[in-house]
Chains A and B, each alone.
Chain A
């Protein structure tokens, strides 16, 4: 393993896997505590994001609650542990480090390229959406439950799709002109610091504990 991105990616994968499929334990709070400590300055932003994501989870939890309250509580705890761990770990990430991590883990180059260009297109769409929202505001558009509002939203949605198609066509031209052969070449940073070592160590520790409890 050469770079910290792949180490973080592996920590994320193993932690999420362990929390999702094993008996809940207080030790799961250890890696979470480590990542939260490393991002202590941004903790309120992360919690805000977690609360927002919980709006979606809570609907699912309510459904499960009527069938089995114990399962509903476990579902809520597990999803929140995983979400909080990952959103803290990737708080500053723009997605490129994930691609870099995948590259270092020797994932197929075609899959990495697809992942990378999807990420780029999502970023463009996000920017486009933001700009369109500002345009709607500046042109005095007020959304309400009228046919006009639905029509405008339909137009905006269609325009964003057309722009995305145009963008992909232009990127394809660039790929042709620059001799793209299904592979992006990344440079490895080779900078694994104490934080990544401690984090990976704690994830390995809970992994060993879970395995020991299963077979020990």
Chain B
């Protein structure tokens, strides 16, 4: 299995506190892994390091077998890595659903017409075509998560990094997200508290505890 992401001896400290210590992790091609851990254990920080948003204090990230030393080097892989933040409202950069979904394509130079065509396909696939013209901040939490996913998937990324994708969602919305994520053939790192949610997506589960990452037995 070829490797999408490789974390080598990653450590991260926030002042005096050591949040991550010598973390090693391999994420294979189209492999799904989940990371669980208590509040404040550093799960989101680890995800931000993989996404190239936070620099580790020690160690480095390998993306598609290329060693990444600085955050600047992540720029050429931005299209391949999609990151969904824990608070999904932080993801949105445009007022309406359709404008936000096509944002990443437009900012990378796609024409409005071509971006709209691609958005139509993805919105139909995720069954949210009816939300197209709505103001994002008027949508429910579940709808916002799916819209955010549409905005990520439109770029056809190779790696999906999801921080608590079912946080504060009802069961129906959670099931819809599970269905969508299970249908995707992509490398994924999912951070979540919900064990049942994680187990319905992947058998590969890691636990982040005392700053270290440990693989859990099936």
Residues of A within 8 A of B (CB): 94, 96, 99-100, 116, 123-124, 167, 170-171, 173-181, 183-187
Contacts and interface: CB of A to CB of B under 8 A. Distances in A.
Those 7 A-B pairs whose CB atoms lie nearest each other, nearest first: A96-B95, A170-B90, A185-B106, A177-B83, A173-B53, A179-B107, A174-B90
A100 B106 CA distance: 16
Nearest to A94: B135
Contacts of B91: 174, 178
Nearest to B152: A178
Nearest to B148: A174
Nearest to A113: B93
Contacts, number: 68
Interface in B101-129: 102-104, 106-108, 112, 116
B103 A178 contact: yes
Interface string B42-80: 000000100111000000000000000000000000110
A15 B79 CA distance: 46
Contacts of A171: 90, 93
Given A124-B89, A174-B90, 16 more contacts: A94-B135, A116-B95, A123-B137, A171-B90, A173-B83, A177-B51, A177-B53, A178-B91, A178-B93, A178-B151, A179-B104, A180-B93, A183-B107, A185-B99, A185-B107, A186-B95
Nearest to A184: B94
Given A94-B135, A181-B107, A187 B83 contact: no
B19 interface: no
A179 B152 CA distance: 12
Nearest to A188: B112
B85 interface: yes
B189 interface: no
A174 B93 contact: yes
Nearest to B104: A178
A144 to B, nearest CB: 35
B98 A187 contact: yes
Residue among A116, A123, A177 with most chain B CB within 10 A: A177
A173 B112 contact: no
A180 B106 CA distance: 10
